[in-house]
Amino acid sequence: MFLILEATFETRSNKITFLNKARINIEILKRFFTISSKLKIVSDKAYFNVEIDLQEISKMINGWIKYLKMGNTA
């Protein structure tokens, strides 16, 4: 999540690099939690709670990236 914080302090043109890295890290976390759930390392309830949060964070990052790309083409 440090990448998201770093992106906030970067110039508009540099933000996308940090946000893309953050998006990859979120996808990796999603897969780790899926595997952890299947292996019964975490409870189903914990898995679903974390998965919902990770999906929401992913949507926010993707929205931020879209916004930045639209600003660069306008």
Burial of 61 by CB count in 10 Å (0-12 exposed, 13-18 middle, 19+ buried)? buried
* 0.75 exceeded by pTM: yes
- Local confidence band at 3 (pLDDT 50, 70, 90 cut-offs): confident
pLDDT, tens digit, 9 for 90 and up, residues 5-40: 888 888 888 888 889 999 999 999 999 999 999 999
10 Å Cβ neighbour count for 52?
10
Residue ranges per structural domain of the chain: 2-73
